[in-house]
Amino acid sequence: MPENWTETYRPINTDSFIGPVYLKNLLRSNSDIPHLLLYGPPGTGKTTFAKLISQKYESTLFLNGSDERGIDVIRNVVKKQAQYIGKKFIVLDECENLTRDSQTCLRRVLEDYNSTTFIFITNYISKIIDPIKSRTVKIKFNKVPFDEILTGIKIDLPEQVIRRAYDNTNGDLRKMLNVLQGVKYGSVVNVNVADLIRLVDYFCAFDCDATDVENENISALDYIRQLIYKVEDGESAIKLGELERQCLNGCLDEAIYESIRRNNIG
């Protein structure tokens, strides 16, 4: 079974990291790293950046806020790790899922243990309490420009196909690679570019998720047209057709997204 492309193309050092110069300079810096809050849309390199920068110290604890969100984890795992002697990183991915009590407890840990550098990673900075925001250096991650991706990642597919996947996933590199891997292994020999692009559209339809809707990462019209590939019942198809008509008549994306949520379509 072939390796997932998100792992195949994951940067293993600073030189292979695709991102702004200031982020690469931070990775190369020999200075002490302050507490960091990495935020921005999914698939923009936040977790990869955290893994690369944490290589500076031998001791690193990675936790995911979706799995370990309660205050007991902060007291019994994070706090104990922070108490150990020596420089170390503690990385909290998807930290927007931490309860408010957990975040408040973390605030004290940040203040009390100077030998530990915390890296918080989130798609939703609004869900992080102000005391943590004020005690960290905030770094916003934006989608990587297409030209940089094309230069940094060598994929044996036509540029138009890669571009379509990039546009359909709104620059989410992780999703883009998943889609392109599906296209690569789902296509036959000598298939033309137009058919490959249709295959991209097909795979993208099944790769949209709730995060896209919540962040409104894609236009409502594009999202509706991708949902059309997914729905199987006539009632949903009729609702999508009506929403598509409203989009074309100038209805605001926010109202369309609200209708999609309310009707539980997709």
Query: Which domain covers residue 224, as residue numbers?
Result: 220-263
**In this predicted structure, what is the pLDDT of residue 197?**
85
More confident position, 258 or 60: 60
pTM of the predicted structure, to 2 decimals:
0.73
Number of domains the chain contains: 3
Confidence band of 116 (pLDDT split at 50, 70, 90)? confident
Q: Give the list of residues 6+ apart from residue 24 with CB closer than 8 angstroms, or none.
A: 14, 17
Contact 17, 10 (CB under 8 A): no
Residue closest to 155 by CA, chosen among 163, 169, 111: 163
DSSP type of residue 228: T
- Two structure tokens written together for 146: 């297409």
**Same domain for 55 and 107?**
yes
C-alpha distances in Å from residue 175, one per residue of 180, 192, 230 = 9, 23, 17
Does 94 lie in the same domain as 159?
no
Q: Which residue has the tokens 């099944």?
A: 206
Q: Do residues 126 and 173 both lie within one domain?
A: no
CATH code of the domain covering residue 121: 3.40.50.300
Q: What is the mean pLDDT of residues 168-195?
A: 81
Whether the per-residue pLDDT at 33 is higher than 80: the answer is yes
Query: Does residue 43 belong to any structural domain of this protein?
Result: yes
**Which of these three, 95, 124, 140, is where a domain ends?**
140
Last residue of a domain, one of 95, 125, 140: 140
Does residue 177 sit within a domain?
Answer: yes
Residue 210 clears pLDDT 50, i.e. is over it: no
Overall average pLDDT of the 230-253 stretch: 77
Over residues 191-205, the pLDDT tens digits come to 788 888 888 887 776
In-domain check, residue 11: no
pLDDT (tens digit, 9 = 90+) per residue, 69-84?
667 777 778 888 887 8
DSSP 239-255: HHHHHHHHHHTT--HHH
